[in-house]
Amino acid sequence: MRILFLGDVVGRAGRDAVSEELPGLRTALDLDLVVVNGENAAHGFGLTEATCRQLYDAGADVITTGNHVWDKREIIPYIERETRLLRPLNFPPGTPGRGSVVATTKRGGKVLVVNLMARLFMDALDDPFAGVERELASHRLGRTVQAILVDFHGEATSEKMAMGHMLDGRVSLVVGTHSHVPTADAHILTGGTAYQTDAGMCGDYDSVIGMQKEQATQRFIRKMPTDRLTPAEGKATLCGVLVDCDPATGLVRHVAPLRLGGRLAPAWPLADKAPAGGR
């Protein structure tokens, strides 16, 4: 079972990159499921029903989010009824929406997708470690579901690594989001779970984490308020992580980063299926 996770989609540049590249990637990589973090898809802050539809139309099966999920208030009624759109599981009880979903792949397999948010340097939500333990009490990797993917949205690399090790052998992939910078540590943990500290963003890297660099830089130089940050709109790099899971156990046989287009050095996750002429 082959699953692609795409990191935080930032603004129009990120959405357009997903729309342009994901349909071809589903075929080229023979993907069973695609999960996309879309919390910055609507002009860099939050998401709307329209931006979600654009990502679904491109080939996303599930959309995860993070601390910017509520930035566009019109998302609240939509997230209540759209089961493929997640918010972090560890929001307090009674928060609109849901933090997990069991998605069905094109071949009929079942994949549990869990969205969590970290707490170090983030909003003080409920304990994500206890929350995921409760969720996994109802699902067994390789038994009730064929794969389990965890999007852990957070700042601290240590907290993300701790989550990976705690879940090792019990989920297929733990992947971090939020920093918008892809890390170079994609690997399989000792128990068979794939891990990468941050998937990076789908956005313009001639920027400050996806925002226009002049505005963002002045905030650091002057230490004074500026106008609301605006997403950079140059050519985007598509960043993500590919995992190939054993359908019998749900553990991972192969994990590799994907970087496509834009300014970053390209990375194609399958050496035997490199695109003709490169990308």
Which domains are seen in the chain, by residue range? 2-206+234-273 (3.60.21.10)
pTM of the model: 0.95
From 43, 68, 153, 178, the catalytic residue: 68
Task: Please check whether residue 269 is in contact with residue 242, taking contact to mean a CB–CB distance below 8 angstroms.
Answer: yes
Beta bridge partners of 196: 175
Backbone angles phi, psi at 276, to 5 degrees: -60, 130
Binned at pLDDT 50, 70 and 90, residue 277 comes out as very low
Percent of the residues in the chain that have a pLDDT greater than 70, as a whole number: 97
- Check residue 188 and give its pLDDT: 98
Average pLDDT over residues 189-202: 98
Task: Please check whether residue 205 is in contact with residue 181, taking contact to mean a CB–CB distance below 8 angstroms.
Answer: no
Q: Is 68 a catalytic residue?
A: yes
Residues near 130 by beta carbon (within 8 Å), at least 6 away in sequence? none
- Check residue 228 and give its pLDDT: 84
Computed over every residue of the chain, the mean pLDDT equals: 95
CA atoms of 195 and 118, how far apart (whole Å): 16
Query: Residue 78 carries which DSSP code?
Result: H
- Check residue 274 and give its pLDDT: 60
251, pLDDT greater than 90: yes
For the purposes of burial, counting CB atoms within 10 Å of the CB of 204, is it exposed (0-12), middle (13-18) or buried (19 or more)? buried
Residue matched to tokens 């790099």 = 237
Average pLDDT over residues 23-32: 97
Residues near 3 by beta carbon (within 8 Å), at least 6 away in sequence? 31, 32, 33, 34, 35, 111, 147, 149, 172, 173, 242, 243, 245
- Check residue 226 and give its pLDDT: 76
